[in-house]
Homo-oligomer: A and B are copies of this chain.
Amino acid sequence: MEFSECFAVWNKLTPGQQQTLHSSVSLRTAQKGEIIHNGNLTCTGLLLVKTGQLRAYYLSDEGREITLYRLFEMDLCLFSAFCIMNSIQFDVVIQAEKETQYWLIPPFVYKGIMEESAPLANYTNEVMAARFSDVMWLMEQVMWKSFDKRLAAFLLEEAALEGTNVLKLTHEAIGNHMGNPREVVTRMLRYFQSEGLIKLSRGTVEILDEKGLRLLQKN
């Protein structure tokens, strides 16, 4: 796929804007695990995913993490370019979860076009509203869902994303996704194992009873 096919509002830009954008983006590759954007120390730019999978997470001052959302093919990441808007007052870290090809759009090129293009500004609005909705959903979960339900949902989601029931995940990594300390994760995983829902071994969590996890998640 070309940039013009991946970028949702390409056809609503003027030829001049298309030219400016096309000549300034660069296609890059991030290895699995690589940090592409590390909070607001630098304004990296916007990321348009060609292939692969990115994880956006929030990092607290005390070094705690929680996964906010994932980005897949054709998704645009705004928050790696906080400098395009004055009002983005929070830090997000973007990490490649799989080998990922993405186009990097320089922030001031994007901002320049957005300031004169209503279609691009409206598209940016929609992207932000979608991420906002993700975060509101997450907030409801962390406020009011018990940890066992959240963990069951997390394991099922990971299995769906990876296409396997054998998940290569340390307890610490799960804690970083969910915003909870490792000890809390370990305790609940052991409980799940004692209930026959999963099987634990070094660095992996194997789902044995998918139906059971689904039931737990719902109740």
List residues of A whose CB falls within 8 A of some B CB.
Answer: 58, 60, 62, 64, 66, 85-90, 114-118, 121-122, 124-133, 135-140, 142-144, 179
Contacts and interface: CB of A to CB of B under 8 A. Distances in A.
Contacts of A87: 126-127, 129-130, 132-133
10 contacts: A62-B144, A87-B126, A88-B132, A88-B133, A89-B137, A115-B118, A124-B125, A125-B125, A128-B129, A142-B142
Q: Chain copies in the assembly?
A: 2
A45 to B, nearest CB: 17
Contacts of A138: 139
A135 B129 CA distance: 13
Contacts of A116: 118
Contacts of A132: 87-88, 90, 128, 131-132, 135
Contacts of A66: 139, 143
Contacts of A137: 89-90
Q: A133, A143, A179: which has the most chain B beta carbons within 10 Å?
A: A143
A132 B58 CA distance: 13
A167 to B, nearest CB: 23
